[in-house]
Amino acid sequence: MALDLAIIFSVIIVGAILFLPKLSRLDIWRATVTPLASIIGSGFLVLAPILVTEYGEYAPLVMAGLCFCAYLFGAAIRFNIFARNSPNQREDLVLERLEIAASWALVFAFMISVAYYLNLFGAFAINQTSFDSPVNAKLLTSGVYILILTVGWFHGFKALEKMEYAAVAIKLAVIAGLLVGLAWYFGQKTTAGELYFHSASLSGWPAVTLAFGLVITVQGFETSRYLGRDYDPETRIKSMRLAQIVCAIIYMAYIALFAFTFDRSEFHLSETAIIDMMGLITPLLTIMLIIAALAAQFSAAIADTSGSGGLIEELTRGRMTARYGYALLVIVGLVVTWEADVFHIIAYASRAFAAYYTLQSAIAVRHAFMTAGTHWNRKIGFSLLVVIGTLIVFYGNDVESSNQG
């Protein structure tokens, strides 16, 4: 009872702070909310069971590596925002072609990521019902796809996009409650001397390729790159950096508490394993997680669908309108939904976003060599990111394949 009250109190306090008019109207915070919403999304729900199952006590180190890798890719995109808006910036055909290629890579990444979001939506929505089965989850996912297409085709997404701030605030408030519950449970286990130190199930190259395949779980910071209509370059750069730092702190606290608190034998690796684990702490967290998960998946799917449709219309110069872009996304998503499970989709999405990050890193390399006074460490660093991104594209793996390897 005391724990439930502490969780509810933390959710209310964090929610109240996030809904304060002074905070919600701050440009830097509103600009931070968009990448924050994308980074702390579906990955937060599936990541802990995967990391603990495969990496054991080294899970926090792998999480730190993922956050650091994402921050470096973010640095390349932040440099591109700065360079593109520099008064000394000049026209360059190579840069123009790289930008177009990066935009198409992002369109494809959006298509896969929406499949990822909505498949998790389907799994979480029926998890606690008598209809819980993989087929029913896919049927529900397909139904949501049709709903999104219908709304996008006939009404557009503006009304739904206005829900973004509220959805993010609710999600962060629930995460605060989750961390309070985990910290309490961790404290109990520590006092009783019952912490778990699991050995890693994977090692060597399979462990590396699985980490490559988990990049999607810390993806989302790139959205700051496309907020130029609403915010100046300096605000976008600062907000992306702030979003990545906040997310890294949350992810590290979450994984560190989770990794040593639960016995691996207590859960089976599935997209909804986190629900069962939180139920061991208190049933309240199960209810809160399901609500937050459904809101997070649906809002993220809407945002990426809208972004994909808009990019397709822009890249085809209006020859394919956003509505047809939505239709293409739904077709691809339905095929992926029925041909792959969530863990395969995670690996596909990671590769797709890695392709985008690789191209953005290549753009950063080009900017760095074209901009007078750019320090050599940036030129070398961005070049290394191109190599790392390429490795992720070709070798990023899913859980099942890594274990077979």
Report the share of the chain in percent with pLDDT over 90: 24
Count of residues in the chain: 405
pTM: 0.86
pLDDT at 87: 66
Q: How many CA atoms lie within 13 A of 36 on its CB side?
A: 28
pLDDT at 388: 93
- Domains of the chain (ranges plus CATH)? 2-404 (1.20.1740.10)
pLDDT at 89: 66
Confidence of residue 151 (pLDDT cuts 50, 70, 90): confident
Minimal CA–CA distance to 169: which of 351, 371, 346, 20? 20
DSSP string, 85-103: T-TT----HHHHHHHHHHH
Q: How many CA atoms lie within 13 A of 356 on its CB side?
A: 26
Look at residue 145 and tell me whether its pLDDT is greater than 70.
yes
Quote the crossing angle between the two packed helices 273-281 and 42-55, to the nearest 10°: 90
In eight-state DSSP terms, residue 155 is: T
* Residue burial 159-181, b: 16+ Cβ < 10 Å; e: rest: ebeeebbebbbbbbbbbbbbbbb
Q: Which residue has the higher pLDDT, 203 or 34?
A: 203
Average pLDDT, the chain: 84
pLDDT at 357: 93
Q: Which residue has the higher pLDDT, 255 or 87?
A: 255
In eight-state DSSP terms, residue 267 is: -
pLDDT single digits (tens) 169-227:
888 888 889 899 999 999 999 999 888 898 888 888 999 999 888 887 888 888 787 77
pLDDT at 180: 92
Structural contact between residues 167 and 37, judged by C-beta atoms closer than 8 angstroms: yes
Q: How many CA atoms lie within 13 A of 207 on its CB side?
A: 18
